[in-house]
Structure formats: structure tokens, C-alpha cells
A and B are shown apart, each in its own frame.
Chain A
């Protein structure tokens, strides 16, 4: 039997606090990855099934109808118009997945964040670690999605790197917002469900994913301006097929502000909630 005390050195010799101080966020991200990979099969099924279904049903099915009646949309075939928007919507959804119930689980259900915080890991490192893994998943998922878009002829291969960059950009920006929001949610998670139903789900409908917002009433256009997804979609369309957009800089600035605001609330809240 291995003897736990035989080679005892003591923490003073064994543990260098500088190491977790430097790499703590990465350790948290890797741990989250280890948990998450237990769900690899459903994750991959979602990653592959989602683009396949969407591209076949909406892109090709609805696309042929739109093309027959309207011809080009935004100067390109409907599928080309739709592709960057689907990619961004998917990126945002994955970011939300990784920054919502996971946070509730850590703070309330399993209290795993408190276990992490018993070690040298800080609240800020936990928040950063979750974001690292969220970004990794956005990248992985968007990579699979983009592969299908290219296979279906909806996007050029050379456009993919920039698309992935924008996907990570919106994932990070809105991920921070969700991370902050989720950190304020207690026990039951009702407020999280409300967020999903009344903010996230409508966001997919009012962000110009399936149609140009210029065709919509003023009110809907105003909603789009507060939607990070719309800004990302516009950026992605410009980068994908060169749609002209006078607001490119505004989109970037708004997404940066969204992310910074989210982070400004998320980090202190993580620290405070663990110290209660």
C-alpha cells in the first residue's frame, strides 16, 4: 500500500504560490474542459447537427424560396447572406452555454467554486478560467460550423480565419455579460431561465440573422442596435462577402464596451460571492 506520509515534504517546500498565481486561470479552464469533455458526444452532435440542420432546412429550403422570389439578398445569394449570421448566432449560443448554468452550478448547486477558492485560486481566476474555456469552445464549435459552411458553398475558405476571430470576439464580449449576470443569480436559477427566454431567444430573432434589419420597422432596428449579435453579424457579413457597412468601427467599439462592462461586473462579483 502506498504510504501517504512516507515522502511528506510539507507545503512550504512543495508548493510555490507564484505558480498558481500565474497559471491559476489556466488550471480552472483545463478543469472545466475536463468536466465538459464528459459530454463530448452530445457536444459534438450539437456542433455537427446544428449547422447541418440549419443549412439544409433554412439555408437551402428557405433559401431556394427566397432566391426564387427575391433573387439576391444584400447583393449575394441567400445562403451566402445567411452563413456568417448563423455562425455568429452559434458562437454566441455556445458562449452563453459556457457562462450561464455552469456559474450557477459552481456557486450554488455543487459549490465547486468554493472548493477551488479553498486552494490558491482566486475568484478572478475562476472567472477568467471559465472565459478561457468558453472561448476555446466557441472556437472549436465555430470551426466545425465554418467547415460545413465552406462545404455547402456558403462561405469561401479564405474568409474562415476572420470569421472565427469575430466569433471569438462576440463570444468573449457577450460571454462576460452572461458571466456577470449568472454570478448574481441565486440557487434556483429562475432569473437565468428568464434571461434565456426573454433576452437570448429574442436576440436571435431581432439581430438580422435571417433578413436585413433595414426591411424591418424602426423599433426592430433599434432593438438590433442593442444586440451584440447584430453587431457581430454585420461585422461577419462585411468580412465574409464584403457587404458595405458604414458602421464597422461602431460595431467593434460597441462589442468592446459590452465585453468590458460585463467584465467590470463579473470579476468583483465572483470575488464578493466567494467571500460571503
Chain B
């Protein structure tokens, strides 16, 4: 008989809190991340995602609460924990005076990795970041997207147990984003735990097994993207526009159509199980929207439901 073993927790946070004077950046949050899981912190700017991330990276001390990373307290064992993490910060902090390959070498040395190992590793990482032909270029001469790719590659130099990515694809073009997602999937297959913050819903849906939705330093909801959508939204959404002047009047007439309404400045969202049928009802009411769109519910809708705001507010 095989004995079932609970997956190892690599991150545990209980009542995690960070304040700067009177300002509460993270307000007592609880979460756990299992080994091999892909975990996302979703929320708008200023939600406390990056602060939470910095506490997980063991570079920012918490004000209160408990935090365990790889079974250790980061306040006491910061360097030991960081030795096994890969960090991709929001702002690229590459060494501008050094060449591309030198950035990887120097960073690898900070983990105590040998030059011999790094010689091979640098080649692999240059290929990963598609920067083979830029190896001898100073990083200050790279484009934004190239810098981002190099920063991500740099975060892999020590083959981390947990890879922490703060807004990983900001500044990347759509093709580069998809390539990166593919690479991150492969990392996950190797057993690497991924923790990422993002305000892109598609990214969270694509990459994360489980997400927490954060707003104003607190966790509003937690679950898999599908579960969250199921719990907090309907199957489909009908988006209708009546022009900025017509939206308010139309909204009054639409109140009994669909399960729920969200009136935004530029459009009305009608939450429903069947978008096409709902659109028919709208037309029968004598309303003629300027544009209409039926789509599946997304995490954006979950966020809107939970906070009353869109992610890009």
C-alpha cells in the first residue's frame, strides 16, 4: 500500500504584515505555497504584491507575523534561503557597466558557483534569453525587452528551488511573453516552484495553478483561476457600449437582464450564463448597443466583483 505524502510547503505566511510608519503595505496576510506549485499574486499597482514578494525574497524584513521560506525564517537565515532562490525584480537592476555575459558570471559568483560551471551555464542562459549575439554588449546598450530577458536568465543561474518573478513580462512583446511562458512551464516540469506577481489576467490564468487576489494589502480571494471565476463570476460576460452619454440610461433598463451588472464609464458588463441569449434579450428591449461582445469570464471580472475596481484603475 502506498502512503500518501502531503506536498512539502516551501512558503508559509501567517499574519504577514509590513508597515512603513502609518502606511500599511501588507496587512496581515496568510498563504501557503507547495513545492512545484505555480503561485500568483494578482492585484493592481499598490496592492502590496511587490512588498510581499520582497519579504519572500528574504531581503525585506516583515513588521509582524510569521514567514517560513524553505523551512527557515528569513529574518534569521536570509542569505541561506536566498542561496536557493531565483529573483527577478520588477525593475531591472543589471550592472550597466558590465557586458551581458559578465553580468551572468558575476551574479553566479555571488552564489559561490565555480567559473568552470558558469562557463557552460552562461552559454545555456544566453541561449535561453536569445542573447547569444549580444554577449559582448554592455547591458546599458540593450533594449528594454532584452534587459528583461537577461534579468530573467540571471535569476536562473543558481538553478533555484523557487523562482520569484515580480511582473515578469512587463516590457516584453507578445511573442516574447509567450516564449517566456513556455520556458516557465518547462521550469515547473522540473519541479521549480514559481511565485509571480502580475496585473495581467491572461498571464495569471496561463501560468498559475493557484492565485491570491490582493487589494490594499489584503487577500481578497484565493483559489485556482477556474475556481475563482466560477465562484465570483458567471460563465460568460456580455459587454455592451451605448456611448458615454447613453450608458447610464441603458443600465437602468438592463437591470433585469443577466445575473449581475457592472457599469463602467465606457461600457456595461452583463454577467450571464449565456451571452448570446442575453444579447437577444437586450435587442428585444429595444436597446441598440454601439458595440457588443460576448466573452468568457476572466480574472478581471473576479477582481471587479471583489473590489469594485478594474485592475488597471
Contact = CB atoms under 8 A, between A and B. Distances in A.
A and B together in one complex: yes
Interface of A: 1-12, 14-17, 19-21, 23-24, 27-28, 30-31, 34-35, 38, 110-112, 114-122, 274-276
Given A2-B120, A2-B127, A19-B112, A117 B59 contact: yes
Contacts of A27: 106, 109-110, 112
A5 B83 contact: no
Given A15-B158, A27-B109, 5 more contacts: A8-B190, A12-B161, A15-B84, A118-B59, A276-B60
Given A10-B191, A34-B106, A122-B78, A2 B123 contact: yes
Contacts of B84: 11-12, 15, 17
A27 B106 CA distance: 8
A139 B83 CA distance: 33
Interface in B176-223: 186-187, 190-192
A236 B96 CA distance: 39
B109 A31 contact: yes
Interface stretch (B86-94, B252-260, B289-297, B302-310): B86-94
Contact of B161 (A6, A11, A16, A17): A11
A40 to B, nearest CB: 12
Interface of B: 57, 59-61, 78-80, 82-87, 89, 91, 93-98, 102, 106-107, 109-113, 117, 120, 123-128, 153, 156, 158-161, 186-187, 190-192
A2 B124 contact: yes
Contacts of A7: 120
Contacts of A24: 79, 110
Contacts of A3: 124, 127
Contacts of A12: 84, 161
Contacts of B98: 34-35, 38
Contact of B95 (A6, A9, A19, A110): A110
A119 B111 contact: yes
Contacts of A122: 78-79
Given A2-B120, A10-B191, A111 B93 contact: yes
A115 B87 CA distance: 9
